[in-house]
Structure 1
Amino acid sequence: MPRLRTAGAAAVAMLMAVVLAGCGGSGGSAATSGTGPASAGKKQSTVKVGVVYDIGGRGDKSYNDGVGAGIDSLKRELGIQVKELSPNAGGTDRQELLRLLAESGHNPIICVGFLFQDPVKKLASAYPKTRFAVIDDDSVKAPNVTGLVFSEEQASYLVGAAAALKSKTGHIGFVAGVQTPPQQKFQAGYEAGARKIDPRIKVDVKYLTQPPDFSGFSSPDKAKEAAKGMYDGGADVVYHASGASGRGVFQAAVAAGKWAIGVDSDQYHTVEAAQKPHVLSSAVKSLDVAVSKFVKDYADGRPQSGSVRFGLAENGVGYSTSGGFIDDVEPRLEALKKQIIAGQITVPTTP
């Protein structure tokens, strides 16, 4: 991983002012904030949750919004106080944002994305009473750090099988944001599931950017171009794992009159109306469930350390059926799901 730059004292002071401004407003483009009213009959929680999203923040209709849904649910249920921040376009201020939340008494702090592993590793010992949760990474070994990780490859396996079952050309595609090990889990599962159905199926693969360029998660134009190339080349189903860039894949699917598969959330419910008939399924990742469980465990005085995994067996991942487009193949997908849970199928995590 590239080493993160440290902001100057003036920048830190300015960001501190944003965090300490309270919940009346964001104070700048990098932050949103708010407290949700407690549900009727519920006591207002004293827990102050801090969240630092992945690049792009809320509004991506995918990864960040999945976490945001869990935060919104917690606001309604517990009336918790929340401070939500987003890193700059290069993600170079992650460590500063985490430090500001810790200094202003936010605890626990949720870090959205595996790229927080290095900043959390540096800060965990400096703030031993602050609980950090890192989504999609469990490499930081500290008593006050929890890794919320998912078996994305299992969900990808099932949508890969769906793609192969619905393909009429024997040719499908995969568009990913940035070529990193977590992203390769999506590719590995998708290819394995597709080849379980059709060993001879052709799978096109395109990563939009390479580290340290992480703009692949916020480049819908690049995703649209990549998907268009796959459709033009004969693919009739394209699965994306590219965050906000996925908007471009859905646009390309409409133009080609072909299928697209969403990721992280049930994207049938987040795309434009004209795109819904082209969303075959989505590989669902229950980010909201994981975030809600983590915060509730903390509020109850029983936070978990180490790795907490959410797979098919825990209902942490799965596939969507909205639109009814895979109703005809769902029995076969459910059979594969049961075999994975039973250990009869081991889904690879590397291509």
Structure 2
Amino acid sequence: MPVNVLSYAAVSATEPLRPYRFDRRDPRRDDVVIDILYCGVCHSDLHAARNDWGWTSYPIVPGHEIIGRVTAVGAQVSRFKVGDMVGVGCMVDSCGVCAACGQGHQQHCLEGATFTYGGADRIDGSPTQGGYSEKITVKQEYVLRIPDGLDPKGAAPLLCAGITTWSPLKNYHAGPGTRVAVVGLGGLGHMAIKLAKAMGAEVTLLTRSPGKEDDARRLGADHVVLSSDPARMAAVAGRFNLIIDTVPYVHDLNPYIPTLAFKGTLVLVGYLGPLEPALDSAPMVMGSKVVAGSLIGGIPATQEMLDFCGRHGIVSDVEVIGMPDINDAYERLLKSDVKYRFVIDMATLRAAA
């Protein structure tokens, strides 16, 4: 039978999130039922709640950085058992057979991935609802194993911020002997620094904020360069094999291209949209440099990232909040007033309601 669960939902683009009840589906033979312990708060949650992208249907329950314990499994489930600590990230299904899915890149499913909230179930068409809720029911192939020893609170943002930065670092071969720069020190940027450092790269933070040096070095940065200082940027010309650009709003990429080494790559992971001012292609053509984009990661890459974090003890720096604090947290997100990721303790959900 379907299970009625308590959650927090946005009911319009202009109203605060509030308590909301809805039915999770009757578990199928390949489903895993999870009691949610923690859920990270992503900028995407805020954008979806406020319909910034124009596609939101209400009510919507955000949350795609989910950590919890398995409470039931379907008859065909072989990967998990009751009591396992697991995670659910940005996707809960895909076609499974297209060229992208076949290569483990379910986020690029040619039929369209089914996202954790704001999507439609591929079997019954019901709206998918996210992790600001008591429970979630997910197909076993989209459930991730959380390594023993990782703090579940700090592990929650790995399901989005972690995989978003892991994918380009892995795909563009960050490691010993490479020089990686990270643009921006927020939720994504701080994970990029931690992961790149653990992978063995020399890591530099490029920032417009002079006050971030101490924190960047604590996180693992070897160098900090003030990107608003032309002399300091000139001093790192031709230096970086890879730049991970985590800035979530339109900004000028042109100052960063000269800092790429020959055949270096700048990867956008924070901003989606037209570039302004226009990108000057001359230094790219002359230096065989690349500007690329990256979208989260597939299920195999996400599990690989979690296992890597388990071996290296990497989690996100988090501020744990109660469910009643979510609307204030959204306002603070707009001001970048968090170091570096909010995580909701879902034990506070019932008290909030």
TM-score > 0.5, shorter chain as reference: no
Question: In proportion to residue count, which structure has more strand?
Answer: 2
TM-score (norm 1): 0.33
TM normalised by structure 2 equals 0.33
